[in-house]
């Protein structure tokens, strides 16, 4: 759908990654990067995806306490928490791994 529907224009997308696997998110990012890089389209995307936050050339804006601030994707909570979880899942799942769970 993304390859055939996006043309010249401005697109506002709300969590387009919600139904996409990580592999499909990467494919979607290739499409976004291609269209935006050639100046064909512009995108405003609300996302929680740490993968989409890393899109080369993207401006990441964070809304907090009624203020909009440009930040590095590495400074977003979504990126940091995902990175930390993947680096050490046991640390984050410790509360699930008690004797009561068996």
Percentage of the chain beyond pLDDT 90 is 64
**pLDDT for res 46:** 95
Give pLDDT, residue 81.
Answer: 92
DSSP label of 59: P
| Count of Cβ atoms closer than 10 Å to residue 24 Cβ | 12
Instruction: For residue 70, count CB atoms less than 10 angstroms from its CB and return exposed for 0-12, middle for 13-18, buried for 19 or more.
Output: exposed
Q: How confident is the model at residue 38 (pLDDT cuts 50, 70, 90)?
A: confident
16 phi/psi in degrees, rounded to 5: -65, -15
Q: Which residue has the higher pLDDT, 8 or 88?
A: 88
Secondary structure E strands in 1-102: 9-14, 41-46, 60-64, 67-71
Q: H helices then E strands: how many in the chain?
A: 5, 4
Q: What is the pTM of this model?
A: 0.77
8 A C-beta contact, residue 16 and residue 45: yes
pLDDT digit string, tens, across residues 57-74: 999 999 989 999 999 999
Q: Picking from 4-8, 14-18, 75-79, which range would have the lowest pLDDT averaged per residue?
A: 4-8
On the question of pLDDT at 21 being above 90, the answer is yes
């Amino acid at each position: 759908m993304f390859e055939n529907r996006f043309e010249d224009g401005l697109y506002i997308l709300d969590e387009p990654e919600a139904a996409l696997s990580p592999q499909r998110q990467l494919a979607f990012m290739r499409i976004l990067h291609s269209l935006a890089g050639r100046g064909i389209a512009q995108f405003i995307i609300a996302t929680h995806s740490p993968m989409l936050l890393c899109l080369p050339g993207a401006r990441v804006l964070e809304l907090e306490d009624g203020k909009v601030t440009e930040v590095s994707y590495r400074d977003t909570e979504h990126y940091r928490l995902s990175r930390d979880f993947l680096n050490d899942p046991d640390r984050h799942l410790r509360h699930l791994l008690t004797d009561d769970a068996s």
